[in-house]
Amino acid sequence: MPEAPPPDGMRTSQWGFPIVDFHAHLPVPDEHRPASEERYRLRHGDRKADILHRNWRWYQEQWWSARSFPFPEETVLAAEAQADRWSGEIEAAHLEAVVFVTGGGNRALAAAIADHPRMLGFAHHDPFLPDAAAELRQAVTGDGLCGYKVFAPALDGPIDDPSLDPVWQVADELGIPVLVHFGTLDGGGGIADHVSISPLRLHSVAKAFPEVPFVVPHFGCSYPGDLLQLAWACRNVHVDTSGNNEWVRWMPYPLSLGDLFAKFLDTIGPDRILFGSDSAQFPRGLVRAYYDEQVRIVARLGLSDADRHLVYAGNAARLLGLEVCST
C-alpha cells in the first residue's frame, strides 16, 4: 500500500513522513553552571567537584564510543553560529521543525533562532526565581518562545511547591506546553536522588492546572512506572521519546525502547506521545541513529499512518500552534 500523503501541508522528511523533533538543545559557549554545582563547590571544594565531573565524562565517553558517536567539540561556537549549523541539519533531513528546549538563557535562545522559522524555542529559567512568572510571560509574549522547560531534579525545592503556582498560572493563560524532566539527570555520574526525582511529584500540579499540557521526556527516565501512573491519572500529561534512553540498561528487569513504546501506546494512546531526539552537540548534530531506531520500532509496532503522524508531528503541532509559534 502506498504511503498516505503528508497531512496538514507538512513536508516529508528523509524518513518518509513529516517530523517535528520536540526535544533538542542548542549548544552554546560558557553555559552557566547550575546553582547546585556551585553550592557543591563551596561546600566540598573544587577538587571533589572536578572528580565528579571526570566521573560523569567517563560515563559519557563509554556511551559515545559504544554508539560510534564523535566526541563533542571542545570549542563551542556562538549561539547564532550554532543556529545556522542546526538550520542546515533541519534542511538536510527535511524536518518540519525542531524545538530547542534550552539554549543559554531565554534571551540568547530567542535571538539565536529568530531568523530560522523552523527552529522553535522554550523558556528554560528557574521557576523558583522571584520574577519567574513575569519572565515566562516575557519570554513567550515578548521574545517569541513557545513553551517552558524545567529540570525538576535540579531545583532548590519540590516542583509542587505552592510558591510556583504563579508560573503554572502564566503557562495556563498563555496556552503553552510545559516540559518537565524527571528521573536521573545528566545520565551516568549525574543526579539520581532528589525530592522531585519521580514524575509522580507532578501529580498535584497537573491536577491543579488540568488545561496545561505537561510533557515528561525520555519515557520518565528510569521512572516509567511512575510516569504511567501519572499519565493514567492526568489526561493533560504527555510523554516524549527523546534521548539515548541509556537508563534502560540500569533497570532491575529487562526493558527495551520497544517495550516502552508498546506500553505507553497501550496505556495512553498515540495522542499523548511526542517524538524527540535530544540532539545537541556538534559534530554529531542531528542524531539520525536515534531517529532510525525509533522509526524501526514504530514500524514494527504497526501503527497506522494517522497514529504515526500524531507521534511524529501532529501532537507537537497541536501543542505548539506552529502557525503562530515560528519565531
In a domain, 139, yes or no: yes
pLDDT at 323: 63
Contact between residue 221 and residue 187 where contact means Cβ atoms under 8 Å apart: no
Instruction: List the grid coordinates of 83.
Output: 543556529
pLDDT at 315: 97
In a domain, 31, yes or no: yes
pLDDT at 170: 98
Which stretches in the chain have pLDDT values below 50? 1-2, 324-327
Domain count across the chain: 1
Q: Which domain holds residue 221?
A: 11-325
pLDDT at 39: 85
Beta pairing partners, 139: none
Instruction: List the grid coordinates of 20.
Output: 517535528
In a domain, 154, yes or no: yes
In a domain, 3, yes or no: no
In a domain, 5, yes or no: no
pLDDT at 145: 98
pLDDT at 188: 86
- Whole-angstrom distance, CA of residue 98 vs CA of residue 118: 6
pLDDT at 3: 58
Q: What is the DSSP letter of 313?
A: I
**Cα–chain-centroid distance for residue 282?**
18
pLDDT at 35: 73
- Whole-angstrom distance, CA of residue 319 vs CA of residue 314: 9
In a domain, 108, yes or no: yes
In a domain, 189, yes or no: yes
Q: What torsion, rounded to 10 degrees, do the Cα atoms 24, 113, 141, 96 define?
A: -60
Q: What is the CATH number of the domain that holds 181?
A: 3.20.20.140
- Whole-angstrom distance, CA of residue 272 vs CA of residue 236: 8
pLDDT at 324: 38
The model carries a pTM of: 0.94
In a domain, 6, yes or no: no
